[in-house]
Amino acid sequence: MAFALLATSRVAPAPGPPASAACRRRPVTGATSFLLRAHPRVVASTSSSSASSTTGGVSRRLAAPSRRGRQSTLTVRAAGEADDARGGGKTLAGAGFAVGIALFAATNFGGAPTLAALEKDAVPLDVALTNGRPSVVEFYADWCEVCKESAPVVYDVERQYGSKVNFVMLNIDNTKWGGEMEQYGVDGIPHIVFLDAKGSSEGQVVGKFPKQVLEANVAALSEGRDSLPYAKVAEGVSSPVKVAGIVETPGAAVDDPRGGAVSSSDPRAHG
């Protein structure tokens, strides 16, 4: 959208003491008007009148106290509305308008997706195991740096397949999930388990993983395939965890949800 900014000003000498070296807001004695052309056009100006609204057109005034006890009013009018006849010609610095735009952008546009965002959209485990859809179950912790780094990847894949696949988040710091951690052999996080529509494990990914691995596995789940492209991935960096009932011993094995055992030399045992 193109904008054209026209400015006219009348400045008269300001009475009072000379300006000091400190940064202070100086009294305004002239008048400056700005015309911002867009669709619809919006005109911003100020007057010394009190806060009010016009019923005949789109007009609102936001009053703010001035330095001298008067009231400066910001008026926003739709294109075609006449200038306020009572306007005293007080100047509104254009910087204020720019600051407002910056604050709006900062408030409405966030940064990269976080673990908190994933938690908010997560499907409860009991629901995921009974709604007839395949599931992606991630064991994580708020202190896990690898989990934080992987959050945007999981978020993107969830946005793509969330209508067909459950995405479940289980925080290992919650002792409630101790049984599930032991069941799936969780000794490093992030630890992702892929469940089919019946709740049976089809594969797992442990540690840092590329997006294509997660995306390919979730796509296979959503299509009901018999096997996953990456049924067992444990080559990435993970954060080690200690869970009651899971003992790390050199040469020992931990349970694998698909059967068999995984040696402790596997990266999952050491993080």
| 10-61 residue pLDDT tens | 545 555 544 433 333 344 444 444 443 444 444 344 444 444 444 444 444 4
Active-site hit among 43, 74, 122, 144: 144
What's the whole-model pTM score?
0.50
Torsion angle (degrees, nearest 10) of CA 196, 202, 208, 213: -80
Helix (H, G, I), strand (E, B) or coil at 98: helix
What is the second-level CATH architecture of the domain 115-270? Answer: 3-Layer(aba) Sandwich (3.40)
Tell me the pLDDT tens digit for each residue of 102-118.
Answer: 444 433 445 788 999 89
Of 28, 74, 141, 147, the active-site residue reads 147
Helix axes 145-161, 211-222, angle to 10 degrees: 40
pLDDT, tens digit (0-9, with 9 covering 90-100), for 165-210 = 999 999 999 999 999 999 999 999 999 999 999 999 999 999 999 9
Residue 23 designated active-site? no
Least confident of 85-89, 125-129, 188-192, 267-271: 267-271
Token output for 62: 């936001």
Question: What are the extents of the domains in the chain?
Answer: 4-10+27-108, 115-270
Q: Distance (Å, rounded) from C-alpha 81 to C-alpha 54?
A: 10
